[in-house]
Structures are given as structure tokens and as C-alpha cells.
Structure 1
Amino acid sequence: MTHRVLNIVPVPVPPEALDAFAAQIPPAVVHPGFENVFVSARAGGTTLDSAYETTLADAFVLDAGCRAEEQGYAAVCVNSMSDSALAALRSRLSIPVVAPSQTSMLLAALLGKKFSVVTMWPQWHELYHKAAREHGLTARLASVRDIGVPPDTAELLAGKEDFVFAALEREARTAIDEDGADVILLGSTTMHQSHAHLERVLEVPVINPGVVAYKMCELLVQTGLSHSKRAYPAPARVQDDLLAAVAVAR
């Protein structure tokens, strides 16, 4: 039996960009019997640079995943450190729903005493502080540092590797040496191409959040565990077609 995992990118992206997101989970990482399907939100935000955009992303990630259980998926993985619609999808679905920020921060707290997030630009800082607050990890978050480069959801880091890798290494080194971090967490699944370099040059664990979130999906499916419906009660009225009239982003 094949267990399909629905991975949802929370912003509309072209098919070739979706392939780049899917590449963060190489075949060697996928346990036999599992299959990944990547989709993106039909509409909504573009860079998740504000509360306005993250609210749009919540709505359209919910739209993309609300029927996953009836479509035969074994789990849903939100492929963004925004953790878009995580609580809403857990309310709607009984199958496991996992997202990178929650999962990777909890893993970072397991691996070390203090962790830092190294990310692309300052507009994303609140995503991590919000997640840390919600999960009781503010005291474990040593710092959030960025390289001041706007993200590119179509090309990811392609063509910018030399500059971006060096800048991320510099900020990660500062987080370790000055902020006291003993674990480094990449601030976006769009940054996955930098993971191998940072893992090689830094002496502390470096967490690749998209991979960690996906592997948590596998663990939950294999162990028969899922989120508590007491914590995430199902809605009395299901309105899955509410956003159907919204046009597909082009």
C-alpha cells in the first residue's frame, strides 16, 4: 500500500517552481511505501511579508487541503515556515497535518539548548517569533537573523548560490558565536538548497525544515498517530466550496 502525502506550498507558483520545491525531499529521504504530491495554493499571498498576506495564505492553504482525507491522502504537510492553515486543517481533517515551523522548532529544542533562525529578509521575522510564542519556545529562541535578500518563490536560490550561501554562513556564525545558538534552523523551505553547505561548514546541527516536517508525516502515519480532535475539534458545518469561485492565480 502506498501512503500519499499532500505537500502544500502556500503561495501560487508555476509548475517548474513546484518541481524545485519538491526537490527538497530527494528519493533517498522518502521511506518505501510513501509518495509525495506537491501542489500550490490557487491564489492568495506572494511572499508572506505581512499579516495581510499570511491571512490570505491561511485561506487558500485550507482550500488546497480540506479534501485531502476524502482524496485518499495519508497526511498533509504545509511546505512553509508560515505554518499556514495548520490549525484549520487539523480541525477539518483527521489524518495527520504537519507544518515546518512547529516541527523544526520542537526538534531544535530537542537537539540543543538554544536555537537561532537564519532567514532571507526581515519581513519574515514575525513568523518565527509567533511560532515560538505559540509553542512556548520563546526562551529557547536565541535570535532571528537575516541576509536582507527578498525571496524568489519561482527561482528559489538558483543563480544566487555563491552570494547567498556565504551570507547565510556569516549570519549563522554570528548566531552561534554571539547569540549563543547551538542549533541553526533555516527560515524557509525556499532555502533548502543552502542546507548541505551550512551543514558542512558549521559545527552545530542545521535543520532543513521541509524535510523534517515531511519525515514527521511519515512517523505519524507509521505509528498510527494524529492530532487530538479534542485540541482541534471538527467544525459543525463544513463549507469546503466557499472559495471555489475565486479564480486561479496566473
Structure 2
Amino acid sequence: MARRKISPDESPLALKRRARRINKILAEQYPYAVAELDFRNPFELLVATVLSAQTTDVRINATTPALFARYPDARAMAEADEAELQEMLRPTGFFRAKTASVLALSNRIVDEFDGEVPGRLEDLVTLPGVGRKTANVVLANAFGVPGISVDTHFGRLARRFGWTDATDAVKVEFDVAELFEPKDWTMVSHRVIFHGRRICHARKPACGVCPVAALCPSFGEGEVDPDKAAKLLKYELAPGREELLARMRAGESRAELRAAGFKLDA
């Protein structure tokens, strides 16, 4: 099946309308989309997001319960024994660098922000190991400040959708922000990232079962046969996980699903 083409003369208004139609369809596909890192407060989300570099949210969610039980806030983390912290973070990969970042940002929070994670982007990005992506994740999900979080999934899909041709994360953020109302930025981020993890994979997207295929100029980059594409689905959309999907659609929380014995990995 040939790749669908979007007119190179697509007007800014037509692009905005197409982007919003994609978002509407993704909202129907993933009504349960949320930040997939577990957290109870801004500090936990900040640390978890820093730790999530070069690994999966599933791995971080397996690591942080013990981490935050031992070091529940910035003051406790700032006083952590470096060797002990390294051992706790070893499963996340690049654990020495991550230990240094977590210790440094915790000390900065204690010294400059009285132990509380700041709620402004311009302050967050001054913390060691914190860039715009991490800052936007924290602001959007812990402080309720709308923001677009550009991770590798979001950037890849934004380009495949034709929302931007930029590879720089900040440029992607600004280009996509122009297409949506600010109130929608956070949920657009969640939905696009969900879609990238479940259907629109980096190496072999499952084009044949993609709900936004008709609106995607990159249709055909992956498997277009519906039966073959269905085998590429991951997480709750994967074959054999219908009960998990039904319970997620019914509104059960991630904690409730884990307690019921469901694994939330790919």
C-alpha cells in the first residue's frame, strides 16, 4: 500500500486542523493516557524523570519505591551516602552519572529553594541534569502548568505526522505548541507518547492498525498488513492483554492494576 501524501502546499490552517483531528482520535484511543512514571509529589517526579534517561519508565517504577522510602525528600536525598545511592540506582543504567545528578539537584533545591522543587521553568532548568523536557514534565504533571514534553517518542511522531521537520527538541516543542491550545498541551504530550510506545514504533511502526493512518503522511513506513501489524502492538494493546486494556479503559489506576497482578510493561 502506498504511503499517504499530504500536500506540500498544506496551509497552516489545514495543518492545525489535521493535527487537532489526530489529537481527537488519539484521545479516543487512549482515554487513560497519563504520565507513566509513578510519583506522589514534585520531588519524586523530578528525580524519576532525571533517572528515566536511557532506560524505561517500567524500570524506573521498579526502582523508585525503595529509593523514596529511603530518601523521601530533597533534604534526605542531599545527605545520602553516594555509594549506597549508586547501588540503589545501578539497575537504571549510567548509575554513577545519575547519582551525581540526583545529589547535585537535591543539594541545589535545599540551598536555593528551601528544600522545595520550584514551580517555574526558569528555575527548574537551573538544576543539575534538568533541561526543558524534564522541566515541562514536572510542571505539567506535578504543578498543573500546561506544557509539551518532547522525548524521543514525541519528536519522532511529530515529524512523522508532519507537525514539524525539526530535530531540535526545543524547536519541536515550539512548532507543535502553535498547533494546539495551551490547555491541550499536556494531554497531547501524553497521547502522542503513548502512541509512540504502543503503535508507532521507531523501527517498525504498526501502520496497518494505526487509528490515525488516514491523516498520517508517513503511512507505509511500517507494516501495513493489519494482521501482521497487530502482532507489533505493545503494552495493553498487545495480543492477549485484552483484560488489561478493558480495565484501563474502565478507569482503574496503575496502582490498582498492579495490585490485581497485571504487569504494565511492554
Instruction: State the structure with bigger RCO (CA 8 A, min sep 6), 1 or 2.
Output: 1
Relative to its length, the structure with more strand (as a share) is: 1
TM-score, normalised relative to structure 1: 0.24
TM-score, normalised relative to structure 2: 0.23
Relative to its length, the structure with more helix (as a share) is: 2
Structure whose CA Rg is larger: 2
